[in-house]
Each structure stands twice: as C-alpha cells, then as structure tokens.
C-alpha cells in the first residue's frame, strides 16, 4: 500500500468539507477571529491532499 493514497484522500476530503463550510456557512466564526479560517485552512488541506495523490499517481505510472 502506498501511504500517499489514503493520506492524500483524507486531506482532499477534509479540504472539501472545510471549503463547503466556508462557502455555505460563511458567517461561521470563532469568538476571536474575523477571518474565514475554514476557507484558508480548507484551501491548504485540499492542495496538500491533491499533491500527495499526484505523487502517488506519478509513482504508479513510472513503475506499474
């Protein structure tokens, strides 16, 4: 098993959930923040997740 696959998937899913929150419930804020924390964190997680999946996909292409 290539660990990059499940790691990539969990962060892609977490990123999508947080992005969903930031779009559909954009007023969700904690007491001390004015920023949309879910939006920024969601983007980072999605990018990280997709990056891991890309690495795993490239590895299967070079030695199937």
Interface with another protein by CB under 8 A: which residues?
A: 1, 3, 6-7, 9-11, 13-14, 17-18, 21-22, 25, 28-33, 35, 37-38, 40-42, 44-45, 48
CA atoms within 13 A on the CB side of 40: 6
Q: How far is the CB of 41 from another protein (least distance, A)?
A: 5
- The distance between the two most distant Cα atoms of the chain, rounded to a whole number of Å, is 50
Nearer to another protein, 55 or 64 (CB): 55
End-to-end CA distance of the chain: 13
Please give the DSSP secondary-structure letter assigned to residue 32. T
Which of 10/54 has CB closer to another protein?
10
């Amino acid at each position: 098993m290539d660990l990059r696959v499940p790691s990539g998937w969990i962060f892609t899913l977490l990123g999508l959930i947080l992005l969903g929150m930031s779009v559909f419930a954009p007023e969700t804020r904690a007491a001390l923040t004015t920023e949309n924390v879910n939006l920024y964190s969601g983007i980072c997680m999605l990018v990280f997740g997709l990056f891991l999946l890309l690495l795993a996909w490239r590895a299967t292409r070079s030695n199937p």
